[in-house]
Amino acid sequence: MANKKNKGSLQAEYPNLYDGISADDLDACMSFAEDYKAFLDISKTEREFVKNSIEAAEDLGFKSIDKIKKLKAGDKVYASIKDKGLILAVIGSQPTSEGINILGAHIDSPRLDLKPNPIYEENETAYFKTHYYGGIKKYQWTTIPLAIHGVVFSKDGKAHEIVIGEKDDDPVFYITDLLPHLGSEQMAKKASEFIPGEHLNVVIGGIPVKGKEKEPYKEAVLKFLNDNYGIVEKDFVAGEIEIVPAMKARDVGFDRAYIAAYGHDDKVCAYPALMSLLAQERPSKTCVTILTDKEEIGSYANSGAQSVLYENFLMELLALTGDGSFDMLKFRKMIAASKMLSTDVSNAFDPKYSSVSDSRNSAYMSHGIKLEKYVGARGKSGTNEATGDFVAEIVGIFDKNSIPWQTGELGKIDAGGGGTISAYMAKMGMNVIDAGVPVWSMHAPYELISKIDLYYTYLAYKAFIENI
């Protein structure tokens, strides 16, 4: 299905991909969506995504690179990046030094993290204090069911994993908002101000311990946590507890065209980037998928895309596919010859909010993977801009493999903007372009994507790593 049909005219067309789809393609699309939803529901945090990805990879014969002395064509290896990022490779028959094909997504999503001293009580209710992570509209996080996911490390180094709010009979957690009857002053405020960050406090308990404790409601929560997870209040300082929406991924529409879920950004690209790598057996070029953390706050930390730990793995790939020695110049040349899709989501044109988008330079829901030559803000600030010849090469691969694609910018020029990991990867020297699934309500607790975009994005990623 080629989308740039010229039909005797010189003008480009970017059709809706559900329009005229064959029954077989629709079946394949619906079935890929089922697998994605199942994976997403058990992978809401970066740690969970890494754990489940490693499990899937090991089932297919992937091994941790730590245990490897030499790599040959067909070998499958991975490295966990602090358990919050992951990098995986399938070794190709061509020398790695001639360049590798890379897909790179991020697996962190906007959420509420617990503060280091999170538990308090007020007016006979126990609460968690949170600090939001990434760009959110704070008011969207009130009055929805919330789940707790994460890990607390005690001084003995033991990890205490906590997941509450996902099973049907689990309790959920909740942030209150003001009733409209008394909300007139609140409603007159700007949306960025009417729910301050310090109001994102989560209700976690309301039955006190018996006795004479100073704070019996807080004490009851601490007792529950100690009985069930063996932790005490001070352990939270070494905690990584994330508050995420408790909702599961659900089909949307009478025809089930869409999926609503928490964390499509960027797991709706990370999942097909992982799956297209796992589908490789004997590629000609070495294929790599990178799943990074901390993108939503600038790709910092040792698990973010700016960390050298991802680079270390690529250095090991070069050394272990050769004679085991490492040569920096050879490495730099390998990276310069490498090609990457930065597989991150972008906005889809929303007719209700058409004023923020240039309709002639916008991606549309169900029109396929969105190729973005550049992202950034204002005068293209902060962007990786892909070179024209690299864009042409990608378009050539997609067209040759009948992969429909579209293009567009993230909104009007002065309406805002955003970044991805592409700039950091380009800095290493490789050719990079952003290409991902268009999203409605991006960064909301429950985002919307089209199943047909997910499916053709998977085919696009596969075509890229197999053919470029």
**Residue among 121 and 296 whose Cβ is closer to Mn ion:** 296
For residues 318 and 423, which CB has a smaller minimum distance to Mn ion in the complex?
423
**Least Å distance between CB 275 and Mn ion?**
18
Pairing outcome for strands 258-261 and 76-81: unpaired
Give the other-Cβ count within 10 Å of 382's Cβ: 14
Q: Is 134 helix (H, G, I), strand (E, B) or coil?
A: coil
To Mn ion, the closest distance from the beta carbon of 297 in angstroms equals: 10
359 burial type by CB count under 10 A (0-12 exposed, 13-18 middle, 19+ buried): exposed
CB atoms within 10 A of CB 286: 30
- Closest separation between CB of residue 265 and Mn ion, Å? 4
Contacts of 115 (CB under 8 A, 6+ apart): 129, 130, 131
We find the least distance from the C-beta atom of residue 301 to Mn ion, in angstroms, to be 16
Q: Which residues of 361-375 are buried (b: 16+ CB within 10 A; e: fewer)?
A: ebbbbbbbbbbbbbb
CA distance 234 to 225: 12
Q: How far is the CB of 438 from Mn ion (least distance, A)?
A: 12
DSSP 50: H
Q: Which is nearer to Mn ion, 221 or 375 (CB)?
A: 375
Q: Provide the minimum distance between the beta carbon of 110 and Mn ion in the complex, in angstroms, as a whole number.
A: 7
Closest approach of Mn ion to the CB of residue 296, in Å: 5
C-beta neighbour count of 397 within 10 angstroms = 17
Which residues of this protein are in contact with Mn ion, per CB under 5 A?
265-266, 344
Tokens standing for residue 452: 């047909």
Give the C-alpha distances (Å, rounded to integers) separating 191 from 18, 136, 183, 186, 409: 36, 11, 13, 9, 25
**Nearest distance, CB of residue 345 and Mn ion, angstroms:** 5
Measured CA to CA, the distance from residue 190 to residue 196 in angstroms comes to: 11
Q: Which is nearer to Mn ion, 346 or 357 (CB)?
A: 346
Nearer to Mn ion, 96 or 299 (CB): 299
Rank residues 318 and 421 by Cβ distance to Mn ion and give the closer one.
421
When the beta carbons of 135 and 324 are compared against Mn ion, the nearer one is 135
What is the dihedral angle through the alpha carbons of 262, 264, 266, 267, rounded to the nearest 10 degrees? 90
Other beta carbons within 10 angstroms of residue 193's beta carbon come to 10
Nearer to Mn ion, 241 or 268 (CB): 268
Which residue's Cβ lies closest to Mn ion? 266
